[in-house]
Amino acid sequence: MKILYCNCTYAKVVPKDVKQEVLRQLSDSGRAFDAVADLCDMSARKDPALKKIADGGCTKIAACYPRAVKWLFHAAGTPLPAEGIEVLNMREDSAEHIVKELVT
Amino acid sequence: MSRTEGRNLRVVLYEGPGSTPLADQDRYQVLSSLLDNGFEVTRPIAGQEVAPPDDAPVLVLGLLDGEPRVTADHEVHFRNLAQVNALDAAREVREATGARTLDAWKPWFPVIDFDRCTNCMQCLTFCLFDVYGVDAEQKITVQNQDNCKTDCPACSRVCPEVAILFPKYGKGPINGDVVREQDIQREAMKVDISTLLGGDLYGSLRTRQREARKRFSTERDESKALLERKRCLGKLKKELDIPDEVLMTLPSAEDIEERAARAKAKLAKRQARSQTVNDSRPAPSETEWGI
């Protein structure tokens, strides 16, 4: 199971304390992960890295609303597979909940 | 170059054999500063999966004893965090590799939820900045996202199916939150741009233009015309949450008429083409396109 963290760098829509705490605990966890500055930005650029993520098997994505993440990948021409992807919503859920879901 | 082109530099934060692991606080600081400055970061751990490499330029950062052995068929740079600051090193390699630099553009563009979209083309008809288009299968598509006006969610507000997302928007369901029954009811009740402007959008604009000309020619009363424009823009702003900056850049009535003519010509061309190829589907009517 891979882990992808989105920092939502280009906007302040994800609560700062949540994303910082998730990143800090992920950093300390001893788990391998990929972190991107901003999935929206990657989608806008149709970044080929999104295809690697979409095609890469089971992945937990810490970002924002699952509906937004799903269609951001689709907009980039690299739809996420129907199975094996779990999107965790840092806009709504607590850092504790997200971290627990990511690293367990 | 478009503001949406170019590859990001991928930074690999290496703590494996041939290096000294970072202190937790230092690792977090490096990660945080790199992400805040637009870099992508991978933290690999032996035996665990990360996204496979692609053709993006790579910078390996760590407390390195030497250069780790890597199997990559493209450019890989190494910098030792004992000697350099992580952010300085990433910026230097980004410059050297021609990777994309952080810009001030907030990634603001519509994202279509095709589970909800009915291809009604209201967004295409409504958007005055040519953001939308149709693909080869005559399906609505976001064609010119660079044209989209930052912080303007107006097209999502006129979508009858709540199918247009702006993930950077503050409120749901436009931000991608789940669409609830009350959202659908609100969308059904919300202002229809053509109603707002009195029925036919283009007809209304023509009428307004004629009236404005008449007013100017008879009364030469600029303040009245400006007041009228202000009133209309105020209504648009309130009902559709359109930012002032976008209202100020709205095209003129002439521009809109020209665009409508272009859209009609495009439609006629498509209609003609669909009759000449093996396409049994009926050509879309003007009504279906909302023109």
Residue B56 and residue B68: Cα distance in Å, rounded?
19
Find out whether B167 and B153 touch, Cβ atoms under 8 Å: no
Interhelix angle B222-240/B201-218, rounded to 10 degrees, is 160
Q: Between B37, B40, B177, which is nearest A65 by CB? A: B177
Contact B51 A65 (CB under 8 A): no
Instruction: Judge: A53–B51 Cβ closer than 8 Å, yes or no.
Output: yes
Mean pLDDT of A88-102: 97
Element (H, E) at A34: strand A33-36
**pLDDT score at B54:** 77
Dihedral (Cα; B273, B279, B283, B288), 10-degree rounding = -120
pLDDT digits (tens, 9 = 90+) for A41-61: 999 989 989 998 899 889 999
Task: State the residue range of the domain holding A65.
Answer: 2-103
Q: Do B107 and A38 touch (CB under 8 A)?
A: yes
Kindly state the average pLDDT of the residues A17-30.
97
Average pLDDT, chain A: 95
ipTM of the complex: 0.96
Task: Write the residue in B8, B145, B175 that is nearest to A65 by C-beta.
Answer: B175
Q: What's the pLDDT score for residue B201?
A: 54
The residues, any chain, with a CB within 8 Å of residue B262's CB and separated by 6 or more, are: none
* Distance between CA atoms of residues B113 and B124, nearest Å: 15
Nearest-CA neighbor of A37 among B79, B158, B130, B90?
B90
Proportion of chain A above pLDDT 70, given as a percent: 100
Number of domains in chain A: 1
User: How many Cβ pairs closer than 8 A exist between chain A and B?
Assistant: 149
Give me the phi and psi of A98, to 5 degrees please.
-60, -50
Question: Residue A52: which of B52, B172, B177 has the nearest Cβ?
Answer: B52
Q: What is the pLDDT of residue B268?
A: 75
Backbone angles phi and psi of A55, in degrees to 5: -90, 0
* pLDDT value of residue B52: 80
Q: Is residue A93 within 8 angstroms of chain B, CB to CB?
A: no
Cβ neighbors of B210 (< 8 A, separation 6 or more) are none
What's the pLDDT at A14? 96
* pLDDT over 80 at A39, yes or no: yes
User: Does A30 score more than 90 pLDDT?
Assistant: yes
Q: With a threshold of 0.90, does the pTM exceed it? A: no
Find the helix packing angle between B24-36 and A16-28, rounded to 10°: 130
CB contact under 8 A, B111 and A91: no
Q: How far is A95 from chain B (nearest CA, A)?
A: 16
What are the pLDDT tens digits along chain B (291 aa)? 454 556 788 999 999 989 999 999 999 999 999 999 999 999 999 888 888 877 788 999 999 987 666 665 677 899 999 999 999 999 999 999 888 776 667 899 999 999 999 999 989 988 888 999 999 999 999 999 999 999 999 999 889 899 999 999 999 999 999 998 888 777 665 545 545 544 455 555 566 556 655 554 444 455 554 566 666 677 667 767 777 777 766 666 666 667 667 766 776 776 677 666 555 556 666 555 544
Q: What is the tally of helices (H) and strands (E) in chain B?
A: 11, 9
Nearest neighbour of A71 by CB, restricted to B5, B45, B112: B112
Q: Is A10–B107 a contact, with Cβ atoms under 8 angstroms apart?
A: yes
Chain A's closest residue to B44, CA to CA, is A32
DSSP E strands in chain B: the ranges are: 10-13, 19-20, 40-43, 58-64, 76-80, 111-112, 132-134, 140-142, 164-165
